[in-house]
Amino acid sequence: MPEKRLNPNPLLRLQTILFLLAVTQLGFSQDTNSYKQLIESFVEKEQYDYHIMDSVFTPYQNDTIKMRTLYNKGVEVNSLEIQGYALNMIGIKYRNISQYNKAIDYHLEGLNLAKKANDIDLEVVSYNMLGVVYRRLDLIRAALDYHKQALDLAESVENPSLGLQHSIAVSQNSMGNIYLALKQYDLALNMFNKSLIIEQHMDNKLGLAINHQNIGYALEEKGNLDDALTNYQTSLRYNNLINSDVGRVICYNSIAKIYIKREKYEEALRLLHEALDKALASGDQFYVATTYNNLGWAQLSVGKLDDAEANLKKGLSIAQEFNLKSDEIASFSHLSDLYSKMDNYQLAFEYYKKSENLDKIISNERNIQYVNDLILKYESEKKNSKIKALANENEIVKLKLEENRKMYFVGLGGLLLIIII
């Protein structure tokens, strides 16, 4: 006879559900009240410095409801700084779930409020965040423009605060990423190393993780796999220290790519399966698409062609849905290799052409020329600033010499007068 299942009392089930809902609501209510008290306490001090705000509200940055509560409080107390900070945090959240248009809208409003408040720290952060979103979308010109504005503004401050120094490091790192996209690897390394020095001075482990990751990528593209792997592993170590799952996803993908190139396929597959679980949990489609592409590439390399095809098509679908051009190119390229292995040369050629055509669109000569002109302009401005500074120093020295010369003659005249008398 089949085993009988006990049918729980419906009334008892309802009571249990209501009890659990009440407990959940109580916990939520207590958490909300605690957060509101934190906001009230912060507002009472009337210290709306960006980096003080960031240190207080970092634990709540990913909660858009809490950030909207903070924004509303900013409106209530007429603090443009609080409003701008909250809007930027909401923008970052939308970026991290691949809703890029919403992210841009929030960052633009944050930038507008920063300008009205004349808050340089908030303005620099807003420019940088806009640059990051446009970089995700492979819109290189807009990305570089925003990061350049952030860097120029931050460097215009004579004695930058620690917060502004961090923003300078972020701008340098971001410009380095743009140089990576343009295959200007030496320029990229120069920027990453500048950023790394600041992050080391500040002992900012997240910044150190990001820079070592990017240095690794530049070295990998230059063919230096050993040093690239060392930097990826260093980045992973920092990400483990700060317990960043997104950081782990990035590092697992990068290390796995080195393993694929060295034909260590099983190690690559192990890392990529772990990366995929974490990427899916994060909800960031940018990293989900990348991981599907790399997993498909690894499976292609070991002859698991059906699995490879399924994962590469998943990566392609996500890339196209969220307008992730670099991932779309990678999907096309790997699918071309896949169909070539399947002896389907017609499809292989079609995907090859798609990859080549899209690559030309996002890396066209007009963009490269524009960026190169901007690089030259930036370096020229830096040199001119140094020349002006040296000229000013020289002028000060000349004035001091002139003053000393006058004092000498005044002193000599006084001495002669004493002798005559």
Q: What is the rounded average pLDDT for all residues in the chain? A: 86
- 79, pLDDT greater than 90: yes
> What average pLDDT does this structure show over 327-332?
97
pLDDT in tens, 270-316: 999 999 999 999 999 999 999 999 999 999 999 999 999 999 999 99
Query: Which has more pLDDT, 412 or 156?
Result: 156
pLDDT of residue 169: 95
Query: How would residue 193 be classed by pLDDT, with cut points 50, 70 and 90?
Result: very high
Among candidates 86, 188, 99, 173, which has minimal Cα distance to 136? 99
Among candidates 191, 179, 187, which has minimal Cα distance to 143? 179
For domain 263-363, give its CATH number from 1.25.40.10, 3.30.450.20, 3.10.129.10, 3.30.413.10: 1.25.40.10
Query: How would residue 387 be classed by pLDDT, with cut points 50, 70 and 90?
Result: very low
For tokens 């916990």, the residue is 27
CB 70 within 8 A of CB 90: no
Among candidates 78, 82, 81, 50, which has minimal Cα distance to 66? 82
pLDDT of residue 360: 86
pLDDT of residue 138: 83
Lowest model confidence (mean pLDDT) among 160-174, 273-287, 407-421? 407-421
Residue 264, judged by CB atoms within 10 A of its CB (0-12, 13-18, 19+), counts as: middle
pLDDT in tens, 214-234: 999 999 999 999 999 999 999
Query: Which has more pLDDT, 45 or 278?
Result: 278
- 46, pLDDT greater than 50: yes
Query: How would residue 418 be classed by pLDDT, with cut points 50, 70 and 90?
Result: very low
> What average pLDDT does this structure show over 248-256?
98
- 11, pLDDT greater than 80: no
Q: What secondary structure does DSSP assign to 47-115, as a single string?
A: ---HHHHHHHHGGGTT-HHHHHHHHHHHHHTT-HHHHHHHHHHHHHHHHHTT-HHHHHHHHHHHHHHHH
CB 192 within 8 A of CB 210: no
Question: What's the CA gap between 342 and 149, in Å, rounded?
Answer: 49
- Domain range summary for the chain, segments of one domain joined by +: 263-363
Lowest model confidence (mean pLDDT) among 12-16, 182-186, 225-229, 329-333? 12-16
> What average pLDDT does this structure show over 338-352?
96
pLDDT of residue 394: 52
26: Cβ contacts below 8 Å, ≥ 6 apart: none
Question: What's the CA gap between 52 and 65, in Å, rounded?
Answer: 21
pLDDT of residue 362: 77
pLDDT of residue 161: 87
Question: What's the CA gap between 314 and 180, in Å, rounded?
Answer: 26
> What average pLDDT does this structure show over 173-177?
93
Lowest model confidence (mean pLDDT) among 43-47, 331-335, 344-348, 387-391? 387-391
Question: What's the CA gap between 63 and 3, in Å, rounded?
Answer: 47
CB 175 within 8 A of CB 166: no
Side chain identity, residue 86:
A
Query: How would residue 45 be classed by pLDDT, with cut points 50, 70 and 90?
Result: confident
Query: How would residue 383 be classed by pLDDT, with cut points 50, 70 and 90?
Result: low
Task: Work out the percent of the chain whose per-residue pLDDT is above 90.
Answer: 68
pLDDT in tens, 115-154: 999 999 999 999 999 999 999 888 888 998 999 999 999 9
- 5, pLDDT greater than 60: no
CB 287 within 8 A of CB 272: no
Handedness of CA 137, 107, 370, 172 (dihedral sign): negative
3-state secondary structure of 275: helix
70: Cβ contacts below 8 Å, ≥ 6 apart: 39, 57, 60, 82, 85, 86
Question: What's the CA gap between 319 and 30, in Å, rounded?
Answer: 41
pLDDT of residue 399: 52
18: Cβ contacts below 8 Å, ≥ 6 apart: none
Query: Which has more pLDDT, 193 or 417?
Result: 193
pLDDT of residue 232: 99
Handedness of CA 169, 172, 175, 181 (dihedral sign): negative
Q: What secondary structure does DSSP assign to 40-60, as a single string?
A: HHHHHHT---HHHHHHHHGGG
> What average pLDDT does this structure show over 334-355?
96
Query: How would residue 33 be classed by pLDDT, with cut points 50, 70 and 90?
Result: confident
